[in-house]
Amino acid sequence: MTTSLAQFQATTRQLWQAWQAKTITSELIFEMVMQNPTLCTELVQRVLPELEVGSLHLVNPQQNVHSALLARAVRYDIYAQDAAGRTFVLEMQVKDEHDLAERIRYYQGMMDQLLLRAGALGPFLDLMAGNVNNKDKFIAQIQAEIKSIKTNQEKWLENMLYELKMQERFDAGEEQGLNTERNRTVQKFIAWSRQRGADQATVVTDLAELYGISKQEAQRYYDQAQLTDSH
């Protein structure tokens, strides 16, 4: 499908507006902010106040972080180590529809520890909820980092690539879902027609007319139904 210049400009404008509206809860913004070792170290220290974390260094370079976001082969956001060789993985998870029950059980088990750490984490949790407390030095530094990121042309292009790739995947998934539903409906129609005693030629013709497809494609659907029945 050809995209006109006007369509491209409109899409770019929408992406830019969305980019400027992003906060720390955005996966990409979170990862870009946590590329700053000082901010990454401070967040880990607030989450794990019982540890003396020291200075962290990032194990995964920026391009690998971005690739992981697109590939999702292994979900991680920031992968860092301290001087003692301990590994820390930071992930921004705002919602998840796939393993909600498991996560609820996990979070219930962690509740006491989270409550104990709420004092140090409070300002960051408030920031995630949209309440900015710039009196907290750490939060002010995060906000300054986000502002710097949003004015960085390279970061903007990285974001645009990410959003376009995500849209491509969404469109592909949506199309696959429609095709799956259509195939299910077609198979039901074929089964219903055969139960009524319609012969193969009649079913194929009716199928082609009903769905606006060629008789060759209709025949493939019919052959698929027969193959399924034989198993």
pLDDT at res. 145:
97
Q: What pLDDT was estimated at residue 138? A: 95
pLDDT of residue 100: 47
Task: Please report the pLDDT score of residue 73 as a whole number.
Answer: 37
pLDDT of 173 reads 62
Task: Give the predicted TM-score (pTM) of the model.
Answer: 0.60
Task: Tell me the three-class secondary structure of the chain, residue by residue.
Answer: CCCCHHHHHHHHHHHHHHHHHCCCCCHHHHHHHCCCHHHHHHHHHHHCCCCCCCCCEECCCHHHHHHHHHHCCCCCCEEEECCCCCEEEECCCCCCCCCHHHHHHHHHHHHHHHHHHHHHHHHHHHHHCCCCCCCCHHHHHHHHHHHHHHCCHHHHHHHHHHHHHHHHHHHHHHHHHHHHHHHHHHHHHHHHHHHCCCCHHHHHHHHHHHHCCCHHHHHHHHHHHHHHHHC
19, 156 in Cβ contact below 8 A? yes
Q: What is the pLDDT of residues 3-36, one digit of tens each?
A: 577 877 888 888 899 899 999 988 889 989 998 9
At 59 the pLDDT is 65
Residues of the chain with pLDDT under 70: 1-3, 59-77, 93-119, 169-179, 229-231
